Structure 1
Amino acid sequence: MPYPFADGDYSLALGLAPMRGDTWLDFDEQYVPEMSEKARRLRDEYDSVFLALPGSESGQAETLELLLQHLVAFYPERFRIPDGPAGLDGSGHIENLTNGERWDTADFEDAPLDLAARLVQEDLCLMSPRGGDIYVLSAGSVCFPLRWELRDKIGLPLAAIHQPVPGYDEKLATPADLYMARLKPHRPSWRCNWNVVDSPDLYLRQSLHPQDGIDGNITQENAGTRLWIRSERQTLRKLPKSGDVLFTIRTYIRPLSVLEGFPALARGLRQALEKVPPEMRQYKNQLGIRKPLLAYLTRIGG
C-alpha cells in the first residue's frame, strides 16, 4: 500500500511520474476477497458499475489484449491462456489460476473492458479523444468508487468529471488535458491519491455514504480503529491503436492504527492534513473527524 503523505506535504498537483511497465498492476493478499466483492457488485448492480458508450469497443478490445499480454508475461503463476500465443489477441480463453475461474473472451465481445476488470483488483476507465485536447470517459468498470457514481461521469470530459474538486478548474484542468493529449504509448505514468475515511468499505458510493454521515462518536482514543487510510494508486497509459487513454485505479484500505509503531508516517499524515485547505477538507469529508484525527496522530507520532 502506498503512503503518499509520508513526506508531510500536500498540494493540488497532477503529481504524475514515469512508470515501469512491470509495475503497471498490483496483486496482493486481498486479491481473493476483493475479486469476490467485484463479482458481487457486477452481478447485483451491473448497470451501475459498468457502462460503455457506443464506439468505445475498439479501445475496450485493445485494453483487454494489452492486459492479457501483461498478465501472462508477468504473472504466469496467476494466469494462463490455454490457447497459447494465438489467444493473446483476446480471441480465446483466460484461466485464473488463483480462483479457478475460466473465461471465454467471446462472451465479452460487446464489452471487453468488463472482462479485463474481472481479472484485476483495479477499476478501469477508458478516456477517448473527442477533438483537440479533450478526452471523455467512454467506458468504465468502477466497483470501488470514493463517493462518486459512474453514471454521473460517463460521457463527460476530464474537466467536467473533476468539477466538484476545489481548485481543479483553475489549477489542473488545462495541464491535465494537455498531459492526456501528449501522453505517449511507450511512456505510461502513475500517481497517488489518499484520504482518511470513516468506513472500511471499498465501495463508497455517494448514495450509500453521504458526506454528512460522519460518525460523531469518533475520539482520539478510538480513531485508530474507527478511521481508515484510503490510498489510490492510479496509472495512465495511451493505447497505440485507438489513441484512447486507459486510467486504472487501485484502491487500498487500512485501519489508521497501522501507523502505530511508525511515528514518522503518523507525523507525515498529520503534517499533510494540516496543509489541506479548508475547502478541500470539506470536499474530502474531513471536517467531522479532523480534531480527533489530528489528536490521535499527534499522540502516536509526536
Structure 2
Amino acid sequence: MQKPASPPFRHTPYDGSSQPFTVGLKPVTEETWLEPDPNLTRYLAEKEHLFTNALETVFRAEPATDAAQREVLNLVADNLERFHTGSHRLSGGAVEVLESGQRVGLEETPALLTASRLVQEDLILMRPGPDGYRLAAASLCFPSSWSLAEKFGQSMTGIHDNVPGFNGGRMGQMVARIFDNMKTGQLVGRFNWSVYPDGDLHHPRPKQIRPEISGSALARLFLRVERQTLRRLPGSGDILFTIKIHHDPLAALAASEDRAELARNLRRQLLDLDADQLAYKGLVSTRDALAEALDGLFAAAQ
C-alpha cells in the first residue's frame, strides 16, 4: 500500500462546504480545471501499469468518438501549456512530464488514452442519445467502487442505479437538466467523499469498512475525495467528465491545524447519512464507531 506524498486535505468537502448525495455544482476556472500535484509521477506510473496489464478494464471507447477524443486531448494539452508549466512542457508535438522525463506524443492514439497519460484525472465522455446521456468513452484507472466494463454504454440512469435518491428522485432530474443545458465554455465541479480501508487508487469493487476501527485501526483508514468537473466539448457537443482522486490518511487529521473542525463536521455528516446512504458508502456496521473515534479526536483538540 502506498501513501500519498503530498500534504493531505487539499479538498475537504466533509467540512460542510458540500453535502453528500446532492449535486452541489460550483464554477471552476480554467486555471484550476486540472490539478497536477506532487503525486503526479506516482499516479501516472500506476496508469501506465494498468494500461499495460489491464487495458480493457480501464479503457473503453465507441468507434464514433475519435473526434471527441481528439478534442479532449487538445483541451488538456492547451491547458497544461497555459497553466501548468511547472509540471509539463509542450514541445515538438509532445508533452513532457518534467519530474519523470516521460514524453507523450500528441499524435498517439486513442487520443483519450493519450490525454489520460498526461494528467492524474480520469477522463469520461458522456454522449447524448435517445435515453439521455450515455458513457461513450472513458479512461478510468481510479474508479471508486464501480466497474467501467459494467457501466460502459449505459445511460445516466443505468450508471447511477445503485446511488440512493438518484433515479426517480430530484437529483437525477437535476443532473439531466444540467447536462441538457450546459453551455460551451461553462466549467463546473463538485465533490464526493468516502472512507476506504487502504490507500489504493484502483478500486473497481465495492468495499466494506470492518467494524474494528478504534485506536490504531482508525489510523489505517483513508478519506477518499473525488473532485469531479463537467464541461461541454465545442465540436462534438459531448460532456467531458473528469475525476481526480485525493487519498488522505485519516491519521493525518490529528496533525491538522483544523483537526477539531474537520473531525466535528465529518462526524456530523456521517451521523446524517440514512440507511441506504450508509450501505452505499460501505459504512453500515462502522458508522457509529467511526463517529465516536472522531468525537474523541475533536475533544482532544479542544
TM-score, normalization by structure 2: 0.90
**2-structure distance, mates of 1:23, 1:137:** 25
Partner residue, 1:245: 239
**2-structure distance, mates of 1:269, 1:112:** 39
Partner residue, 1:123: 122
1:225–1:257 contact (8 Å) kept in structure 2: yes
1:265 counterpart = 2:262: yes
Q: Superposition pairs for residues 1-302 of structure 1, below 5 Å?
A: 1-7=10-16, 10-83=19-92, 92-108=93-109, 111-131=110-130, 134-169=132-167, 170-206=169-205, 210-212=206-208, 214-216=209-211, 218-261=212-255, 262-302=259-299
1:39–1:118 contact (8 Å) kept in structure 2: yes
Shift of residue 241, structure 1, vs aligned partner? 0.9
* Deviation per residue, 1:3-35 (Å, 9 max, x gap): 101128744211001111111011111111111
Residues matched between the structures, number: 286
1:236–1:245 contact (8 Å) kept in structure 2: yes
1:267–1:297 contact (8 Å) kept in structure 2: yes
**1-structure distance, mates of 2:185, 2:204:** 34
Could you tell me which runs of 5 or more consecutive residues in structure 2 were left unpaired when the two chains were aligned.
1-9
**2-structure distance, mates of 1:19, 1:11:** 19
* Deviation per residue, 1:281-300 (Å, 9 max, x gap): 01110113223211110100
**1-structure distance, mates of 2:285, 2:112:** 38
Shift of residue 257, structure 1, vs aligned partner? 1.4
Could you tell me which runs of 5 or more consecutive residues in structure 1 were left unpaired when the two chains were aligned.
84-91
**1-structure distance, mates of 2:91, 2:40:** 22
Aligned residue identity for 1:275: D
1:10–1:275 contact (8 Å) kept in structure 2: no
Aligned residue identity for 2:105: D
Partner residue, 1:89: none
Partner residue, 1:86: none
**1-structure distance, mates of 2:114, 2:88:** 14
* Deviation per residue, 1:27-74 (Å, 9 max, x gap): 111111111111111111011001101111111000001111110111
Secondary structure of 1:42's aligned partner: helix
Q: Which moved more, 1:268-277 or 1:257-266?
A: 257-266
**2-structure distance, mates of 1:75, 1:8:** 27
Secondary structure of 2:191's aligned partner: strand
Label 1:246 to 1:8 Cα distance change in 2 as closer, same or farther (>3 A): closer
**2-structure distance, mates of 1:211, 1:80:** 38
Secondary structure of 2:237's aligned partner: coil
**2-structure distance, mates of 1:215, 1:152:** 26
TM-score, normalization by structure 1: 0.90
1:53–1:139 contact (8 Å) kept in structure 2: yes
